[in-house]
Amino acid sequence: MIDPVLLREQPELVTRSQEARGHSAESVSDAVAAEQERRVALTAFEELRAEQNAFGKQVAKAPKEDKPTLVAQAKELAAKVKDAQQAANEAEQAYRDAMAKIENVVIDGVPAGGEENFVTLREVGAPRTFDPAEFPDGPLDHLALGEKLGALDMERGAKVSGARFYFLKGIGARLEIALMNYALSVALDNGFTPMITPTIVRPEVMAGTGFLGEHSDEIYHLEEDDMYLVGTSEVALAGYHADEIVDLSNGPLRYAGWSTCYRREAGSHGKDTRGIIRVHQFNKLEMFAYTAPDDAEAEHERLLALEEQMLTSLGLAYRVIDVAAGDLGSSAARKFDTEAWVPTQGAYRELTSTSNCTTFQARRLDVRHRPEEGGRTQHVATLNGTLATTRWIVAILENGQRPDGSVVVPEPLRPFLGGLEVMEPIA
């Protein structure tokens, strides 16, 4: 949730953020009113409880003949205290419900609007072009290439599990493992602790990260167990230090979570149904950082730089966009997407993203740090960013293809493939 002090002292800032996201300002006024009602109810309860405590001492000291009357009065007062406590609890829940409808306050400079209102920050590298003399029918897409290489089998994936499932096999399986291991080596070189995380989490952890909002239909729910399959290891890593006071005296805590991820893609019917751009299951290496709030924006730039380092090293042309407020998840205060050029689509497509969630998730999960020895604790900021995922194979295959259907292996991946320089077609 957002900082209650911010809502109390700068409601207009919260209102602007909600409006930039495309939401009604009514949620802010409702939360302000709910907080006021909560304060009134809590004050009434505390005053009655104090009166009850004082009256209890009076009863204890009263003469024996006065006690029956005083005890009766004490019972009436106890009933009032009980009713006031219930009213305070209801007001507290109403306040929490109202606060839950307010998404994280966007950072100054984030463009307003929806998905199409992003701002391009930079384009890096030249998109690959294909000589018609060498490619008379144009380049092959990643699915056709994957089939020629014996790397990808969508047909049997659908037979076994349904639409948008697939098998990576042979060089396809090796390529993904190489990509993930390369990303892990980059993470290790930059001070991240590697983690293999749970892929099933409790509801309070999923809710704490902000994924059970308006896009909850994208998440697989195991109803019998009331557990959730994660769509990113961010969820497990955010819950890793829940209800803890972490030590940031030596700088941010940085983790690199390797996990299988699951997404229902409920709202994407008809979009990217060919190949492995938009699928229900994939692997991902996710960076996650806990840091002091004042350092969060610098850490965000650091995560973005690592994502760009990966793309550049693999020889992929890409662009970085500042995602518009209305296209942010509820937890993100700012998000940068890095999109690689996909030749057969003639467009940049998202490969990675990195989000600054400020203290929004940490407040829900109660992750704190102590800025000064002996001082009061404060909530940390959390950030996440993708360092590699299955979707990268799309860009690697399409941009590395040769006229005979073979694909050049990017140099950084060759050590993880036994020195292999070219993936050759088998069909």
What structural domains does the chain harbor?
A: 4-100 (1.10.287.40), 115-423 (3.30.930.10)
Give the list of residues 6+ apart from residue 205 with CB closer than 8 angstroms, or none.
Answer: 235, 236, 238, 239, 242, 365
Q: 324-351 burial, b for 16+ CB within 10 Å, e for fewer? A: bbbbbbbbbbbbbbbbbbbbbeeebbeb
**Is 263 known to be catalytic?**
yes
The residue ranking higher by pLDDT, 270 or 196, is 196
Are the C-beta atoms of 205 and 236 separated by less than 8 Å? yes
- The candidate with the shortest Cα–Cα distance to 330, out of 114, 95, 102, is 102
What are phi and psi for residue 391, nearest 5 degrees? -60, -25
176 catalytic per annotation: no
Query: Which residues touch 159 (CB under 8 Å, ≥6 apart)?
Result: none
Instruction: Band the pLDDT of 174: cuts 50, 70, 90.
Output: very high
Q: In angstroms, rounded to a whole number, what is the distance separating the alpha carbons of residues 111 and 424?
A: 45
Q: Report which of residues 188 and 268 the model is more confident about.
A: 188
**Sign (positive/negative) of CA torsion 175, 177, 182, 186?**
positive
Please state whether beta strands 119-124 and 318-322 pair in parallel, antiparallel, or not at all (unpaired).
Answer: antiparallel
Is 29 a catalytic site residue?
no
| Whole-number Å distance between alpha carbons of 331 and 311 | 26
∠ at Cα 360 (105, 44), nearest 5°? 95
In angstroms, the CA 218 to CA 164 distance is 14
> Dihedral (C-alpha) 342, 344, 345, 347: value to the nearest 10 degrees?
40
pTM metric for this prediction: 0.91
Q: Which of 278, 349, 402, 414 is catalytic?
A: 278
Buried b (16+ CB within 10 A) or exposed e, 91-128: beebbeebbbbbbbbbbeebbebeeebbeeeeeeeebb
Of 14 and 72, the structure prediction assigns the larger pLDDT to 14
Which position has the token pair 């509801």?
203
Residue 301: pLDDT over 80: yes
pLDDT at 270: 62
Q: Where are the beta strands (DSSP E) in 132-199?
A: 152-153, 167-168, 193-196
DSSP state letter for 116: G
Average pLDDT over residues 280-308: 98
Q: Does 85 score more than 90 pLDDT?
A: yes
Which residues contact residue 175 at a Cβ distance below 8 angstroms, ignoring those fewer than 6 apart? 151, 168, 393, 396, 409, 413, 417, 423
Rounded to 5°, angle at Cα 127 from 126 and 129: 115
| Residue 373 pLDDT greater than 90, yes or no | no
Percent of the chain clearing pLDDT 90 (strictly above): 83
Asked if residue 215 has pLDDT above 90, the reply is no
Amino acid 375: pLDDT: 86
Task: Output the CA torsion 148→400→393→210 (10° steps).
Answer: -150
- Measured distance CA(262)–CA(297) in Å, rounded: 29
17 is catalytic: no
Catalytic option among 92, 308, 350, 424: 350
> What pLDDT is recorded for position 269?
62
* Amino acid (1-letter code) at residue 3: D
Chain mean pLDDT for the chain: 94
Cα 386 from Cα 352, distance rounded (Å): 5
| Catalytic residue selected from 353, 355, 363, 398 | 353
Among candidate residues 225, 255, 258, the one with its CA nearest the CA of residue 241: 255
Alpha carbons 73 and 79: distance in angstroms, whole number: 10
Catalytic residue among 263, 319, 363, 364: 263
Q: Does the annotation mark 278 as catalytic?
A: yes
Catalytic residue among 16, 21, 368, 391: 391
The pLDDT of residue 2 is 85
Map tokens 């994939």 to a residue: 282
The answer to whether 386 and 307 have CB atoms below 8 angstroms apart is yes
